[in-house]
Every structure is written in structure tokens, then in C-alpha cells.
Amino acid sequence: MITYPILRLYLLGEVIEFRDRDIIEAKVTYEINPLSMELPASTAEVSIYTTNSDFNPFSDAIYFQALKINTPADLVEYVNGTEIYIGRFYINEWNNPSIGVIKFYLQDAIGSMDSIMFDGLFYEQPTNISTIVNVLNLQAPCDIVIDPAIYNVELKGYIPNGVSLRAALQQVCFAAGAYAKTQGIDHIFIKPARFADSGAVVIPAYYDNLSAIYDDINVRYSDIIVDDVITDLEKLDKQELTILPIVTGIELTAHYYVKSDEAEVISDSLLVPGDYKIVYEKPYGDVSVEGNVLALEYGTNSVSFNVPATTQVTITGYPYNDNTSKLIWVNPQSQQDYFEGALYDAITSKYDDPNCLYGRLYSVNVAPNKWNITDATLIGDNNGQIVLNQLIKYAQEVYKQTITALADKNIDLGMLYLVDSLYDKKIVAGAEQVTINLSGGNLKETRLIGIEKMNYL
């Protein structure tokens, strides 16, 4: 097998390519969080060797001076005559470890959006997710694409100004029960979360209405079907299984925005000629602008206009107050019941051991480990219970298995796998992180989170 990485930099209108022996080392780490409780960025590290003096770190080097934060780059893996696209990345930082050697630290579009500030948005009524994502797309470094499975999801609520575009995207994904991935593509793809199920099957069985039986009595019926399997033959022997701490409870704050009956002044200033954009510090409705202004345009959380001559401009609106409530779940497994002492024998009307005290029942609570989510301001009465139910499912995935998949095994983030585990057991788990050594055999260090597979038919 002939395989090597390719790095393509887009500089000064040119495509600068490094391949094969130009690449000293290349490693990529993809990562997701299925419910976007955080929004991880995928990263890559690439070291190259070049004799081109235009890449030296001083002022006479054309290319090196052109390298900027967020300069786009594509990573590709050449495998036996075929180029496999690894993904679109952006330069985060770089350095010169030695003469002729440049090391690039790259991040995906999600990471690059940390440096893009967002004006915020507010929707009083449920609004289709595509409308909201279109607002984010205006500033995103690449397209944000929505899986058709969640096209009809509607959200309402508030994202404040002054947050990063990455934080805004996290709010949207979390409220939609979705995650964002960039693995193997040049855009951001928003997909619905999938959750492990102990009864998941590899081959589905269907109910035969004609004969009123399942089509195969030897197959367990399940509406949860794994996307693929990972067998012992597809990974190295080294693997680590960890039991995650029990999530003892979840408190999810829902936000209900109610418009005030009284208007208030948002801004009141003497403005000189020029273009202005006033971004609100909290959500407002029925905003009005008084003063000599032109080209008035209202955004979801701002107003823009032109002032042709010095004038007093007063902006007023009706504020929305955030009324909150908590959705609560207590994990029944966080309390364990125990019995000690002697039992009472009803037949003989005596205790089974006269030398023992009467038995007692007592409970022991595990160490508190509660998820307390307060600032998800797109969670409201239309989606709060749905999101809580998804959080409960995810909280019960307690097995973390780290494996090294072989080079020819494809691992797709967010997909469900039936995994050969320790002690001849199996787990149903979702892939959340994959690290690939592109210059060292394409082995895939993979982290999967899931639950034990209970039925093996």
C-alpha cells in the first residue's frame, strides 16, 4: 500500500502543495459532542520540510509573510492512486523548529469561529432552524449545512451579542438536539444526535402483518440499528474500558421571554454623519428610531442606519423579560438500597437468627455529579422537555472505550457501532473522537461512548 499525506495551502491566490516526503509528520484529530453540550473543534498538526526561501520567517519571505491566522488549507491522504479528502482546516499558529522545517497548527471552521464575534439574535415565535443558520452563515468561514432529518426543527429564544460565532452555533445545535462535524468535508454539517440502545441490532427484523409474526424469529426486533461493527480483527489488542461516573441528576433551565408593556430607551445620542449599527444588550420588540436617518434596516438583535447630517437619534423598544423555570431529572441509580440484619420468618413467627438484631433497610447516595445547564437561551416551552429527554439518554451512556482501529477501518463520528469489548462482551457506542496519524500508518485512535449490549441474537 502506497500512502502519504498532502497539504494544500491557499496563499496569495496560489495553491501551494506539499506531499509525500515534503511532509515530516501529519496528524489529525476529529471530535464531536453528540448533544453539543460543548462544541469541539477538530485540529491537525503538520510539519513540512522545504528549501523554498520564500517560507523563511523573516521579512523577505513572501509566503511566510502571507501566512495569517485563518488562512485556509486542505488536508488530503493519497492511498494507492486515490486522494481521500481529510478536511478543510485553517491556520491557527505556526513556527520554525529548525531551518527548512515549518510546523502548522490547524483548526477546522468551528475553531476559527472563536475569533468571529456575533451580534446575537432573538426570535419570539418558533422559527425554522434553516432561517437561524442562514444568519450564522453570513459570518461563517464556510457553509453551514443542515441534515434534512432536522429541517423542520423550530427554535425560539435569544442569543446575546458579544459571544463568538462558535458559541452561537453551539446554542443552535444544543437546542436542536444535534452536533456539528467537519470530518472529511469542506463545510460544517449539522446532524441529529444518535443514542446508544442496549437492544440495538446489526440486521433489522420487520413485523410481517400477513402472518402476524416477525420475519425472523431468531432476530431480536429493534428500531435501533447500528451503522457498523468494530470487531477485534479490525483493531489492535490494546484497548481501555472506563466506567464513567454516574450522572446523578440534570437541571435544565428553560427560558420564556415575555414582552414588557412599557417601552424603554435603547440608545439616545447626538450622531455625526456616517453609518451606524446599534446592537441591543437584551432582546427588544417594536423598535422605533427617531431622528434624521436613512437606509433604516432592522436586524434580529440590532438596527442599522445612515446619518446624513449631525442629528439626535433616539432608539426605543419594548424589552423582553426572561422568565425561567427548571426541568429536573433525578437518576434513580444515584441511590442504592441495602439490607442488613436478620429476617423475620412468618411461618415460625420468629427471626431467622435470634442472636441478630432486627434487620433494617438503608440507602447510600453516590457522589453528586449533576449537570446544571442554565445559559441555553434557545431552550423554552417548545423544546425543553425534548432536550431533557435526550440529555437523560446520553447521561446513561456510561462506558468509554478507547481503541486503535486499523488503517482500512472507517470510523465516522456520530455514528453508532457495535464494538467487541473486553471479557467477550460488546457495547453499543457512538464515536466521539478519532485521531489519525496520516504519516504513520493511518491507525485511528478512537474514543467511543455507549452502553452494554444486552441481547446477542
94 occurs within a structural domain: no
Q: Give residue 213's pLDDT.
A: 55
On whether both 262 and 240 belong to a single domain, the answer is no
CATH (domain of 180)? 3.55.50.30
Number of other CB atoms surrounding residue 28 within 10 Å: 23
Whole-structure pTM value: 0.89
Is 304 found in the same domain as 262?
Answer: yes
Residue 201 inside a domain? The answer is: no
Is residue 432 domain-shared with residue 401, that is, in the same domain?
yes
pLDDT surpasses 90 at 358: no
Distance of CA 360 to the CA centre of its chain: 47
Say yes or no: 158 and 179 in one domain. yes
Q: Are 161 and 391 in contact (CB under 8 A)?
A: no
Q: What is the 3-state secondary structure (H, E, C) of the chain?
A: CCEEEEEEEEECCEEEEEEHHHEEEEEEEEECCCCCCCCCCCEEEEEEECCCHHHCCCCCCHHHHHCCCCCEEEEEEEECCEEEEEEEEEEEEEEEEECCEEEEEEECHHHHHHHCEECCEEEEEEEEHHHHHHHHHCCCCCCEEECHHHCCCEEEEEECCCEEHHHHHHHHHHHHCEEEECCCCCCEEEEECCCCCCCCECCCCCEECCCCEECCCCCCCCCCECCEEECHHHECCCCEEEECCCCCEEEEEEEEEEECCCCEEEEEEEECCEEEEEECCCCEEEEEEECCCEEEEECCCEEEEEECCCEEEEEEEEEEEEEEEEEEEECHHHEEEEEECECEECCCCEECCCCCCECEEEEEECCCCEEEECCCCCCCCCCHHHHHHHHHHHHCCCEEEEEEECCCCCCCCCCEEEEECHHHCEEEEEEEEEEEECCCCCCEEEEEEEEECCCCC
Q: Are residues 174 and 152 in the same domain?
A: yes
pLDDT at 457: 44
Give me the number of domains the chain comprises: 3
Q: Are residues 126 and 184 in the same domain?
A: yes
Look at 319 and 337; give whichever has higher pLDDT: 319
Q: How far is CA 29 from CA 32, 407, 419, in A?
A: 10, 15, 21
Binned at pLDDT 50, 70 and 90, residue 356 comes out as low
Task: Give me 326's grid cell.
Answer: 427548571
* Closest to 429 in 3D by CA, of 409, 414, 407: 414
**Structure confidence at residue 456 (pLDDT):** 45
Query: Which residue range(s) make up the domain with 233?
Result: 207-244+397-452
Asked whether residue 366 is domain-assigned, the answer is no
Same domain for 280 and 313, yes or no, is yes
Q: At residue 387, what are phi and psi to the nearest 5 degrees?
A: -65, -40
Choose among 41, 42, 54, 44: nearest CA to 11. 54
What tens digit of pLDDT does each residue of 202-217 get?
A: 876 655 555 555 555 5
Q: Are residues 172 and 145 in the same domain?
A: yes
Among 81, 183, 225, 206, which residue's Cα sits nearest to residue 414? 183
Higher pLDDT, 445 or 345: 445
For the stretch 283-288, contacts whose Cβ atoms lie closer than 8 Å and that sit 24 or more positions apart, written own/partner, are 283/122, 283/158, 283/257, 283/319, 283/320, 284/122, 284/317, 284/318, 284/319, 284/320, 285/124, 285/259, 285/317, 285/318, 285/320, 286/259, 286/317, 286/318, 287/315, 287/316, 287/317, 288/315, 288/316, 288/317
Share of the chain above pLDDT 90, in %: 75
* Domain annotation covers residue 186: yes
As a whole number, the mean pLDDT across the chain is: 90
Cα(25)–Cα(91) distance, rounded to whole angstroms? 16
CA distance 307 to 371: 48
Is 415 a member of any domain?
A: yes
Q: How far apart are CA 368 and CA 247, in angstroms?
A: 8
Q: State pLDDT tens for residues 75-126.
A: 999 988 899 999 999 999 999 899 999 999 999 999 999 999 999 999 999 9
Higher pLDDT, 385 or 199: 385
- All three cell numbers of 124, joined, read 419570539
Classify residue 78: in a domain, yes or no: no
Pairing of strands 370-373, 249-259: parallel
Are 159 and 218 members of one domain? no
Same domain, 188 and 211: no
CB-neighbour burial class of residue 82 (10 A; exposed 0-12, middle 13-18, buried 19+): exposed
pLDDT (tens digit, 9 = 90+) per residue, 188-246? 999 999 999 888 888 766 555 555 555 555 555 566 789 999 999 999 988 899 999 99
Report how far residue 10's alpha carbon sits from residue 75's, in angstroms, rounded to the nearest whole number. Answer: 12
User: Are 134 and 183 part of one and the same domain?
Assistant: yes
Residue where a domain terminates, one of 322, 350, 374:
322
Estimate to the nearest angstrom the gap between the alpha carbon of 402 and the chain centroid.
Answer: 19
Asked if residue 434 lies in contact with residue 446, where contact means CB atoms within 8 angstroms, the answer is yes
Tell me what the mean pLDDT of segment 238-256 comes to: 93
Residue 442 maps to a domain: yes
* CATH number of domain containing 233: 2.40.30
Higher pLDDT, 193 or 62: 193
Assess whether 160 and 212 both reside in one domain.
Answer: no
**Phi then psi dihedrals of residue 47, to 5 deg:** -110, 130
Q: Is the pLDDT of residue 157 over 50?
A: yes
Q: Is residue 75 part of a domain?
A: no
Cα 416–167–393 angle (5° rounding)?
A: 30
